[in-house]
Structure 1
Amino acid sequence: TYVIGDGEREWVLRRPPLAHVLPTAHDMGREYRVISALDGAGIPVPHAVLLCDDPGVIGAPFYVMGRVHGHVVRDALPEEWPHTPETRRAMSTALITTLARLHAVRPDDVGLGDFGRPAGFLDRQVRRWWSQWEASRTAELPEMEELRRRLVAGLPDSGPPAIVHGDYRLDNVILAPDDPGRVAAILDWEMCTLGDPLADLGLLLVYWADPAESDEDRELLSLSAITAEPGFHRPTEVVEAYGAASGRDLGALEWYVALGHYKLAIIAEGIYARYLMGATVGEGFEIMGARVPRLVRRALDRATASELPGLAG
């Protein structure tokens, strides 16, 4: 991702990574189509400017969008915002209600009716990520097979399909510079498709740190500690707020939380495998392998406590 400008105006250019792994990932045309469709539909996205699918121009397909100013919050609040519980609560509310608004958009109404295959979405998610696990695992982990078995056994019936972001979390949105209670733009649409929107909520809850968890657990699982600070919604409040805003049935939500753990564990294993092969260089990758069994164990513990048929074991 690059910021470009002409001295007066600025834009953002996105292209695939120089060494991406999944051939189906980083489809610039799909990303551009999504933000083009949602631009003007009441969903905060950057303004779509142009798409170039000719790799001869810069070496890869790319698209250009308007630059949105604001704050991406990861580990700390911006200095200019009040560091108060009220600020954190406003951020929580904005993040959750914006997700519910996205899920309320009818794909056909914005020209995205053919953007994915909602039927069988959850089953395909389990199978797709399992194929990634088999391609990248560095050690045997029977508990991962047990988690996959429970996901298959407890597969819920999906409600009405929606636009699924695929990686919705606090640091994938830009918050307005002068208002922490307003999402100025949702970013990183590379995994967007049509399917069961509760997959987004389940993954958001995996990322959402709980004050009851130890600092060690949060660090090991790579969870930002910021949502454990006073004022942020507790995980139960996240669920209540989304339920109130969306009106969706959340009775099987723990299945989607288990799916989120499953997905993140497999992504972490893939990163660790590339690190061991020397294909990924940098700090922090050496502990990725230790995260995988912890994520899987966390998922199984929650699944067992859920009492959902199939998922509970």
Structure 2
Amino acid sequence: MNDSERTLTDGMLDRPRGVREGEELDLPALGAWLRANTSLLPGSGPPEIQVLQFPSGYSNLTYMVRLGEREAVLRRPPFGNTVKSGHDMHREFTVLSKLAPVYPLAPAPLAYCDDEAVLGAPFYVMERRRGIIIRRRPPPGMKLDADTSRALACALIDGLADLHAIDWRGVGLAEFGKPQGYALRQIEGWTRRWERSKTDDVPKLDAVATWLATALPADADADPALIHNDYKYDNVLLDARGVETGKGVRINAVLDWEMATIGSPRMDLGTTLGYWVEAGDDARMQGLAFGPTNLPGSLTRAELLDRYQERSGIELSSGTYYRVFGLFKIAVIVQQIFARYQTGATQDPRFAALGYFVSMLAEAAAEAIEREA
């Protein structure tokens, strides 16, 4: 990166920081494994390994590994994890291995390790891509006027529609999932996860789970596709120069493929709708915004749904049902993280207030069902 590029993107790029206490990696063991299994390190001697950690994210842990002038990204499950199926490093590595040659937004994986003696859990390393990640608020230096907010929302939903158009059989992912009966299995699976991770009673979330199981639409398993399963702003990387110079919004990479599978594109869209708080929502909902979806110019949920249907050719019989599924699933994911904090499996202070968000998501889902009735 030259000086002009550094000035242009300063303060906007997603940057790693020091590793959080309790989430350190065994550098000698990692170095030995990298030398034996990748071309990232020479056979002997320097460079020494430097490891930093990307600070955000609530699930799998993401590290930047710097080896002299070379950089890579390492992904591993969270410490204290007990939900093995939700943090399957090999699945994530597999989908990237198949996608990277044909899908430019998939970072190329470099090597996978299933030997837990190295870092205490399976992990993999992949190429590092640079760019902007938008979380609850835009990063310093990024201005989102109405036109940019709309372009950003359009780019995001177009990216999901394009992902669903991939010939998953043709790229070698025919055995990657079981699309028949996928939707009902999801409802049943997320309900079980909710029951197992409960730390407090949330009757409205129990009622939402019952409604989802009894109101499953007939189109839920139609048009199976490769789905991301957690597609939202902070899981895409934006081209910083295009945003800063006004030359357009472009997605540079899609991240966090840990829950990818072959399944229902409607339920995948439902997860995105679950994250989507719009400007007209009440003050309580505004506090649940997972990104700048509520800024002036951004698409409403109805506009998001319309654009997806037009670009993908996939129609939804009930946008409400799929959004409620998204809200329920997000609530359970948050509850699983909160349960780890409550049991002391993680000390991350960000997790202390997550119980509140579970209750708010449950209320939002229940109210959406009432409006549909």
Q: Calculate the TM-score normalised by the size of structure 2.
A: 0.76
Please list every run of 5 or more consecutive structure 2 residues that lacks an aligned counterpart in the other structure. Answer: 1-61, 244-248
For each residue in 1:181-210, what CA deviation from the matched residue of structure 2 results, as whole angstroms up to 9, or x when unmatched? 211111111111111011121111111121
Q: Secondary structure at the match of 1:110?
A: coil
* 1:118 Cα deviation from its structure 2 partner: 0.7
Q: How much does 1:82 deviate?
A: 4.7
Larger Rg: 2
Q: In terms of mean alpha carbon deviation, does 15-24 or 105-114 score higher?
A: 15-24
- Residue range with higher mean Cα deviation, 204-213 or 77-86: 77-86
User: In the alignment, is the contact (CA less than 8 A) between 2:217 and 2:317 conserved in 1?
Assistant: no
Match for 1:213 among 281, 288, 297? 281
Residue type at the aligned position of 2:357:
R
Contact 2:80 2:345 in 1 (8 A): no
Distance 1:172 1:297, change over 3 A: same
| 1:271 corresponds to | 337
| Map of 2:131 onto structure 1 | 70
- Kindly indicate whether the alpha-carbon contact (under 8 Å) linking 1:43 and 1:101 is maintained by their aligned counterparts in 2: no
Stretch of structure 1 that moved more, 203-212 or 12-21 = 12-21
Match of 2:235 among 146, 155, 172: 172
Question: What SS class does the counterpart of residue 184 from structure 1 fall into?
Answer: strand
Q: Which amino acid aligns with 1:179?
A: G
- Structure 1 window deviating more from structure 2 (270-279 vs 15-24): it is 270-279
* Contact 1:43 1:98 (8 Å CA) reproduced: no
For the residues of structure 2 that align with 1:80 and 1:140, how far apart are their CA atoms?
Answer: 42
Q: Pick from 310, 313, 318: which aligns with 1:244?
A: 310
Equivalent pairs, count: 305
How far 1:119 sits from its partner (Å)? 0.8
After TM superposition, the score normalised by the length of structure 1 is 0.90
Question: Residues of 2 paired with 1:10 and 1:225: CA distance?
Answer: 28
Query: How far apart are the structure 2 equivalents of 1:45 and 1:190?
Result: 13
Segment drifting more, 112-121 vs 84-93 = 84-93
Looking at structure 1, the residues matched to 145 and 206 of structure 2 have their Cα atoms a distance apart, in angstroms, of 43
Q: Note the residue ranges of structure 1 that are not aligned, 5 or more in a row.
A: 307-311
Q: Deviations over 1:210-236 (max 9, x none)?
A: 1112344332x3x23522112221222
Spell out the pairing of 1:21-36 with structure 2 (5 A cutoff).
21-36=82-97
Aligned to 2:210, which of 106, 129, 149? 149
Matched AA of 2:319: L
Three-state SS of the structure 2 residue aligned to 1:199 is helix
Q: Look up the equivalent residue of 1:24 and give its one-letter code.
A: S
**Number of the residue aligned with 1:199:** 267
Give 3-state SS (helix, strand or coil) of 1:213's partner.
coil
Q: Which whole-Å deviations, capped at 9, do the CAs of 1:79-105 have from their partners, x for residues lacking one?
A: 554542222222111111111011011
| Structure 1 residue 57 corresponds to structure 2 residue 109 | no
Contact 1:85 1:232 in 2 (8 A): yes
> Partner residue of 1:303?
369
**What percent identity do the matched residue pairs reach?**
38
What amino acid sits opposite 2:124 in the alignment? Y
Alpha-carbon distance between aligned partners in 2 of 1:277 and 1:259, rounded to the nearest angstrom: 27
Matching residue of 1:122: 183
